[in-house]
Structure 1
Amino acid sequence: MKAYVFPGQGAQYPGMGKDLFESSSEAKALFEKANEILGFAITDIMFDGSADDLKQTKVTQPAIFLHSVLLAKTLKEFSPDMVAGHSLGEFSALVASGALTFEDGLTLVFKRALAMQKACEVEPSTMAAIVGLEDNVVEEVCSSIDEVVVAANYNCPGQLVISGSVEGVDKACQLLAEKGAKRALKLPVGGAFHSPFMEPAREELAAAIESTKFSAPVCPVYQNVTAEAVSDPEEIKQNLVAQLTAPVKWTQTVRNMIAGGATSFTEIGPGKVLQGLVKKVDRSMETSGIDRFGE
């Protein structure tokens, strides 16, 4: 069974999607429609902007979404048995599997990006990558700190991202280093994603998701919040709202997809991060990536 996975924020790179625009009339038309929906020429930033230009959340999230979704749309054969996306990538997975239209998916991604950006500005907060410790050790240390700091991304065994107040994350990094973490490294992000700090963004996005039509996907979507296969549109919506303040259970998602019969994983979109994470969950799993038109 073929599993397709879609990357999240951080996978962007200058020049992304340019070959798609130049090689596919379908992709070109959708890129131009995206510029209209967003109200600015995201294609100019994607194709000719710098890494710093692409780092702005309001650009990064729609750029990665566009790259992933348009690659999936221009594949000669795209018949997924199951899909999943990491954080932002869940929106790409939902469009690719037919649960959301391209237009609605892009509109929600842009609203999500703006809401997250706004939430980041309310109070300073941050994230850190913790490598080399069991999940339960990280969870225990986070819960022992008298600050908001939580597990945010369960990326693969021995690699977890924490999220919270600047002071809380600093304290956690110090304690986790003492517990033997190989690395406790703060990330260059604008705020504490997938934590209670995103509550204002969750409330804002909930209204937008509630008023958007979702359809039954062509295959099960393994969602971040539960790591389980979901096909019911109402359940998909609820999980999508909860995702902003809940952890991304990627390790559990990959394990459940394998238990559900996945024999290969194909990453669609920029970068190779998810292929690496799948291999760390199960070294024997066949992985590949589609990052450019015609691959």
Structure 2
Amino acid sequence: MSRRLGVLLALVVLTGCSAGAGEPGPEPSSGAASCASERPAVRTYDDAVARLTVASFNVDRTGRPRGIAADVRRLLGRDDVDLVGWQEADTAAFARAVRDVPGWRTEIFDAADGQRQVPISWRTSRWALVATAAHPMTEGAGRDVTDHPFRPKWATAVTLRHRATGRVVTLLDTHVPNHIETGDRWGDNVNARAARQHYRRLADLLGRPGGVRLATGDFQWDHHDDLAARPRGGITDTFAGKARSSFEVLGLTGVCPSRNTRWIDYVWLDEPSLAAGRAGFVTHRSLDGYASDHRPVLATIALLPGR
């Protein structure tokens, strides 16, 4: 059975079932073709105390240095972006580019192998640094055990205070090992086993009670495929009750795939904050015109009075 046929059959089965409250079914994947002509969903909050826009962007470390630098300047040059979680950013071109953009600070983690891949940037006029951290997700794997080796994986984190309101937000950023799935099921390899652990550990970090927690990253598994198949240990299964992505809350309408025909770059908001009314998704979108083989994904989040 082909991957696309498998996804369509799963879609038919799920469509015929009644979904639980707040539990969306997958949208038709044909949305990838018409995304540019449609508008993303927008939610309004009358009691919002602040809004912030978070970007997740894989800058493609194999790209030309000039293209990497141009992508960095273009994204950080947008007035509507507050925070950015980067992936594949462990290059000299990236480090030079973020250093040269005024009004931004970038935390490049380098205490252990793999951390430099996932730095985080924030706009200093709007946000003040409170703390940083780096959480181990998986060990690396070499060519002796996998055809697709990867370095140790981390979830880096910055905790920031919103200058205008005093609200505190933590952003986690990560990059999951690749070559882990076949669309509707897990691959049978070291990478897939590492990714399952990676999902579990990140979901546990996001699901902790407390302040508002966000996450960005390249999660490798397409949202549409994962939501249709719901594999055990996959994204939908693992993050249930811990966090929700903008794709899950707002749908895919008007959001072009972040890489080729796949939605693999996510922005997350922790479930405890959603349930307590501390924060909520407003809208989201992806951006065209970048040199990277990924589109940046932007999600706007409202900070609410909450509990």
Q: TM-score range by the shorter chain?
A: under 0.3
Normalized against structure 1, the TM-score is what?
0.28
Name the structure with the higher strand share: 2
Name the structure with the higher helix share: 1
